[in-house]
Amino acid sequence: MYNHAPKDYKCPLCQIAKGEDTGKTGPDDIVFQNNLFTAFIAGKWWPNNKGHIVIIPNKHFENLYDIDEKYLDAIHNFSKKVAIAFKEVYKSDGTSIRQHNEPAGNQDVWHYHLHVFPRYENDRLYQEHDKKYWSTPKERKSFVDKLRKYFKYD
């Protein structure tokens, strides 16, 4: 329903859920995984909100309109745990969660995914959108290590 992925779409988020490297994000970035979803440190970073998490269903659903509620519930329940982890591990001042659907809603990967951002006073997350960049595995490693330890994921 309301789908936009091309017929030959190779889904990078399905690759991550399967433990494959996409060339920008891979299995080394995963901080938690179970039979329903995978949570990983996003490869794309905003300057003042490094180490944000993306949570994806392990089964392919293009968007909010398609996702099975069992997966949706599990992902959103885990987003609360991520928000608490950010407070405890990152010492964040707050949390923002966002999810996009269809081109007009700024969806650019055709697999449901939920962003969970650590927030800090005056971080200007939404004003810094044009300054986002692809981080390196080395930059992500300390964030991965801290959150894997917090979630007891090896």
The residue segments making up the domain with residue 113 are 12-151
> What CATH number is associated with residue 95?
3.30.428.10
Cα dihedral: 74, 22, 125, 49 (round 10): 80
Residue 56 within any structural domain of the chain: yes
Residue 125 within any structural domain of the chain: yes
Record the tokens describing residue 143, joined without a space.
């964030």
3-state secondary structure of 10: coil
Mention every residue, 6+ apart, whose C-beta is less than 8 A from residue 91.
none
Q: What is the domain count for the chain?
A: 1
Tens place of pLDDT for every residue, the chain, 154 residues?
799 999 999 999 999 999 999 999 999 999 999 999 999 999 999 999 999 999 999 999 999 999 999 999 999 999 999 999 999 999 999 999 999 999 999 999 999 999 999 999 999 999 999 999 999 999 999 999 999 999 998 7
Residue 42 within any structural domain of the chain: yes
